[in-house]
Amino acid sequence: MQIEKTDVSAVEIQLTVTIPPEDMAGRVEEAQRRIARKVQLPGFRKGHAPKKVIWQRYGDSITADAVENALQDYYRAALQKMDINPLAPGKMEEVSFKPGEPLVFKVKLEKAPEITVPDFSDVSVELEQPQVSEEDVLEAIDHIREQQAILTPTDEPVNEDSVLMVDIQELDPSGLPIVGRAQRDAHIDMQHNPLGKDFAEKVMRAREGEQVRFIIDTASGSPEEKKPSVHLEVTLKSVRRKELPPFDDDFAASLNPKITSTDALKEDLHKQLTARAASSARRKMHNHLIDALLREEDFPVPPQMLDDYLNRLITDSRGDNGEQDAEKDKAFKEELHAVGVRNVRWFLLRQVLIRVHELKASEEDLEREFEILSKMSGKSLDEIKATYADKDKRSDLLEAVTDRNIFAFLEKQITVVPVPVDLATFEGRAPGRIIAP
């Protein structure tokens, strides 16, 4: 077997493999024997037809069978001989063979790019430290109270505490209903009114059964982006009054029997909000760290590996019953191309970090993780191990622990700059829009 290796790019190579005629002759003979054992020709017992007759009838099939088996075997042998570990199965580009001649095939392979571990001493990332205030805790409590609110039908007019069930009909500029542009039985909480100030002004003091018309101005600051205003008619089908449970010790105990006072509830919520924000801040910092490391080391992305990754995203986005759509798939790939490049590059760099610094999670790491999960969940160690007996779940857990090893190592090498920030700013929300734990 002769092998010629050609570098196509920094991440692609082409192998040209030549198999001598004498090696292929034996494979052709074996393929002919396999087919001869299966076929039965008129005038001959099964498996006893002369070779010449078999060849005349099935020569093309015999050749194809011999080549198919040879390609698989010699492809693996070529990789082993050249000490190549491709990122994915190679792509056969040219195959040439005739009986009595050598088999020649070309295969294009993708390899991992040459990656140098970055100089961590030059890497600096910010770690936001969200500060949870008394107002944040009280907003979280109000959010919980709203979730437990009682809605009572009322004949009273709409006010700030009303919850409405409405039909919404879009109108043309002349005031006529637009067919097919209606929404039935929509719920609107006036404390979180999604239809805007004009609607609030028109509907306030209205009663069940009444209709109000208003306009939503969709024009933006840019003339190029201006859209026509939306004319709507809203029919009030029901008006209900929202009654929040009182914030007292009984309310606190209803959320957690171990909490017996409002002060204890506020303290518990403060801890939960702080822990959640801190965890989110660390994940955010890790993403910034990944980007910083990728900027330190520039290396190309194997094109087929990227395409395979994007195809997996497309398949996942379709779901089990999704149908293929070439145009949508193309647009999807274009939209996520930059994200795909970033994620594939991080995968490759991550593999290098794991190998060079021996960061892969061990069985001992996994045992410690089982113990932690057991304490956190209240389940026995055997129950936890049974949960992760599934091969895929166990693999996912190993990857998660490996990720923790990677970032724990990196955080010791880089400069982490703490940045205090209020919780509302960190979560990118307006005051009063807190999401409770």
Q: Quick: pLDDT tens for 5-17.
A: 999 999 999 999 9
φ/ψ (deg, to 5) at 8:
-85, -40
Q: Which residues of 124-161 are buried (b: 16+ CB within 10 A; e: fewer)?
A: ebbbbebebeeebbebbbbebbeeebeeeebeeebeeb
Per the CB < 8 A criterion, the answer to whether 178 and 172 are in contact is yes
Please count the other Cβ atoms lying within 10 Å of the Cβ belonging to residue 413.
12
Q: Quick: pLDDT tens for 97-148.
A: 988 899 999 999 999 999 988 889 889 999 999 999 999 999 999 999 988 9
Q: Could you tell me the CATH superfamily of domain 2-110?
A: Trigger factor ribosome-binding domain (3.30.70.1050)
The encoded tokens of residue 172 equal: 């043309």
| Share above pLDDT 90 across residues of the chain, in percent, rounded to a whole number | 68
- Write the single-letter amino acid at 228: P
The SS3 of residue 84 is coil
Nearest CA-CA partner of 11 in 299, 294, 296 = 299
Q: Quick: pLDDT tens for 188-232.
A: 999 888 898 899 999 999 999 999 999 987 655 555 555 678 999
Q: Report the alpha-carbon distance of residue 345 to residue 115 in Å, rounded.
A: 10
Q: Quick: pLDDT tens for 47-100.
A: 677 778 888 888 888 899 899 989 989 999 999 999 988 888 888 888 999 888
Residue whose structure tokens are 């520039």: 298
Domain range annotation of the chain: 2-110, 149-243, 262-427
pLDDT bin (cut points 50, 70, 90) of residue 435 is: very low
Average pLDDT over residues 271-276: 96
Residue whose structure tokens are 């919980």: 144
The CATH code that applies to domain 262-427 is: 1.10.3120
Decide: pTM greater than 0.85: no
Average pLDDT over residues 391-418: 95
The encoded tokens of residue 1 equal: 């077997």
What is the overall mean pLDDT for the chain?
A: 90
Query: Domain 149-243, what fold?
Result: Chitinase A; domain 3 (3.10.50)
Q: Within 13 Å, how many C-alpha atoms sit on residue 344's CB side?
A: 24
Average pLDDT over residues 271-280: 96
Q: Quick: pLDDT tens for 28-54.
A: 988 888 888 877 777 777 767 777 888
Give the pLDDT of residue 52. Answer: 82
